[in-house]
Amino acid sequence: MMLQQNMKHTISFILILVVFLALIPFVQATDIRIYYIMAETDDGHVWGQNADYEIAHSTGSATLELLYIGQKLSDSTYYVYRSFLKFDTSTIIDTNQIIEAKLYLYQYSDYSTDDFYFRVQKWTGDTPINISDFTEFDGINYDDGLKGSSNWGSAWNYINITDFSLINKTGDTKICLRSSEDIEESPPTTLEYFGFRDYNAFLEVTPYLEIIITGEHDFVDDNTSNVDSLANKGSQSNFTTQQYCDDIYDNITEETIAGEDYEDFTSYTEGGAEAGQISQTSSRASWTVLERQDEAYLYKSYNAGHFGDFEHLLDVNVTENEAGDSDSRTMVVFWCLTNATGAFPALPTNTLYVDSRQIGTSTTTYHFRAGNKGVVVWETVTAFNVSQMYYLRIYRTGTTFYCEVYATNEDRESKSDYIEIEGGSAHSNTFEYLQVTSSVDSSTDPNDDSTGYVENLDIQESVSHYEVNLELQWLNVDYSQPHGELCIKTGVFNGTEDLQVKVWNITGSSWHWVMNLTASSENNVSIIDYLVNETFTILLLGGLETVDAIQDMWQIDCSLLHLWGVWYQVESWYGSLVGRQWVAVESWFGEFLTMQWNLVETWYGQLIGKSWSLVEVWYGQIVGKEWKLIETWYGEFVTKGWNIVESWYGEFATKGWHEILTWYGIVEDATKAFFLNAVMLGLLVGGSMFLIILLVLFRKKR
């Protein structure tokens, strides 16, 4: 009879678990994964001991399994303690990106009377630990330097690792723990050390690493796209290396571009409120009925500090001049050097320029003028004719500014007129912007306008320069994900020029700047707004192109897209307890789309219509993976023959419960031997849930 009752209880309990687990929906695998990796068996500490601190600090004396960190002075003898830990981190996929890493330790004893910090460095030795390991470390701190003797608390706590290069994803991660005073070689005056549990103390207090990583990344697919129909420029030493993060680099090198005799006006930009009045071909900029009061100008940036001594050649033809009510009015500015953008009146003083001025109210003749805005203006004596080509030579030597006009010979061998302006220091400025064709932007005389063109601008800088303009493309992108980043890992840069990254906006058919790359860094930027279909394209563009006299090279290790869904970054659901080591799981619960589970402290709350009672707390708090006392496991489970459970984990003194090692554990009292052991394993793998329930329930009535 008793056996039948026990079997009924067992079957009922299994059914309850199955019903609950059946209520959990199948979910897709989250992008966040967590690894809990326990220290290996051969851990411990090495200490140095001597009456001379320098000897104690530099020479190992003995080893012990416990983990001691710090220093002390006792009986005129100095002690320096350094601990060494080894973790097998080869299970972490090498292409995953680590986003968080913590080293958990269980405090054994606090011997400190002076405060200090625990620092994480790389252990360069190996197991088995011996006294020579005392000095086997790289001396680099990989933690945030914030965890110390004053804020450890008790029992479990962690040290936050911020330099993830410590983690070896292809082998063992080896750690040396030192105190900040040890690193600073500051002799102790009293006790300043801590003791922590090692692997061999108790399995449940073994040191472990918690490492949070992102999932697989989508590496770049192609470097032959041409979405903007412009020729690619530059070279790549080995594009396929960008498809792996392996510290093997693709060298991006600028291409040599031959110099051009004439300026390409299509590379100039039109500005102003009335932009659209000036039309451009590669060699000619034309204006039609450009009025004095219009605001329109054509310009190009050559970067600050350009144009010292210079010589520019320009052909000018004013084809029509409509004089207004007043005489001697400026019609249009043909050429100017300045350090600002805007129509002519808005430009700063010391701007050098050449313009035209009507003679009286004539519509058939005009003068050329040259000047330094705000200082001095000179004009030609000769009257020049409308609808006739003139050839200008504009140049500066030292502080003297010149404009020569040639009427009949484009080889500029016979001057028709000549202007020379000696302006002292005002003429020695360097400039950033070159303008061709600018309105006068005057509020008066709106009917004073002209029509004409300038062409064949030769700035006499026909030297070779360097450019890079390379497209990279991803195919079959999962653009449905709500979050996405472009990640480019770089090496060294040879030169000072920026390498820009632009993204192709399919909707607008244009490039959008998203970032400049930084050398020897992981460069990340959100690109989710540009993911509209399965193809994603970026452009690598030099920051200084048309006047780039230095050939730069940039190293790229890998280029990838990091795409992820709506899952929250959480600890773990339960995972698999194997020797107290938590195996990686994919999610605790996050947001289950079909059931809208929230990140709360209850297990599931009240399952209405499923005959479940109100569940107040599933487990309570997890602190450093130590399960704390909770109020109820399931509340009063009267219908199934369970009594109120006051404690899920820990000592259950009033009921005779012993320390629980698994899910609830062992119950004994004077009248009956009650052995209860349950381990529940839940795995979320690729959107499927495999449930393994091991329940051993044995009750024997003596």
371 and 422 housed in the same domain:
yes
Q: Identify the domain containing residue 593 by its residue range.
A: 2-30+569-700
CATH number at residue 302: 2.60.120.200
Same domain, 327 and 427: yes
Task: Write down which residue in 458, 485, 518 finishes a domain.
Answer: 458
Q: What is the pLDDT of residue 525?
A: 95
**According to the model, what pLDDT value does residue 607 have?**
25
Asked if residue 405 and residue 274 are part of one domain, the reply reads yes
Residues 6+ apart with CB under 8 A from 608: none
- Asked if residue 642 and residue 692 are part of one domain, the reply reads yes
The CA–CA distances, whole Å, from 672 to 12, 100, 270, 655, 702 equal: 21, 48, 94, 12, 7
pLDDT value, residue 576: 31
Same domain, 351 and 399: yes
486 shares a domain with 511: yes
Residue 195 has pLDDT above 80, yes or no: yes
pLDDT of residue 626 exceeding 50, the answer is: no
pLDDT tens per residue, range 349-364: 889 999 988 887 788 8
585 pLDDT band, cuts 50/70/90, is: very low
Q: Taking CA 331 as the corner, what is the angle to CA 328 and CA 333, rounded to the nearest 5 degrees?
A: 125
- By the 10 Å C-beta count (0-12 exposed, 13-18 middle, 19+ buried), 480 is classed as exposed
**For the range 382-386, what are the long-range contacts, defined as Cβ-Cβ under 8 Å and sequence gap of 24 or more?**
382/416, 382/417, 383/359, 384/416, 386/318, 386/319, 386/320, 386/321
* Amino acid 300: pLDDT: 93
pLDDT at residue 619 in the model: 30
| Residue 683 confidence (pLDDT) above 80 | no
Tell me, yes or no, whether 599 and 573 share the same domain: yes
Q: What pLDDT, in 10s, does the model give residues 231-278?
A: 899 999 999 999 988 889 999 999 988 766 678 899 999 998 888 889
Percent of the chain with pLDDT over 70: 70
Per residue in 27-65, pLDDT (tens digit) is 223 356 678 888 888 889 999 999 999 999 999 999 998
Choose one of 458, 489, 504: the last residue of a domain. 458
The total of other beta-carbon atoms located within 10 Å of residue 566's CB is 13
Question: What integer is the mean pLDDT of 200-225?
Answer: 81
* 651 and 532 in a common domain: no
Q: How many domains does the chain divide into?
A: 4
The structure tokens listed for 138 are: 């790289």
Q: Average pLDDT in the 570-593 region? A: 29
Which is more confident, 535 or 374? 535
pLDDT of residue 203: 65
Amino acid identity of residue 609, one-letter, is: G
612 pLDDT more than 70: no
The number of angstroms, rounded, from the C-alpha of 626 to the middle of its chain's C-alpha atoms is: 34
Among the three residues 458, 479, 498, which one is the final residue of a domain in this structure?
Answer: 458
Q: Let me know whether 175 and 249 are in one domain.
A: no
15 lies in the same domain as 41: no
Q: Which residue has the higher pLDDT, 409 or 59?
A: 59
Write down the pLDDT at residue 687: 28
- Give the pLDDT confidence of 286-344 residue by residue, as tens digits: 988 777 778 889 999 988 888 888 899 999 999 988 765 555 576 789 999 999 998 88
Residue 99 has pLDDT above 90, yes or no: no
Conformational region of residue 408, where left means phi above 0, alpha means psi within -120 to 50, and beta covers everything else: alpha
199 and 54 housed in the same domain:
yes
* CATH classification of the domain holding 494: 2.60.120
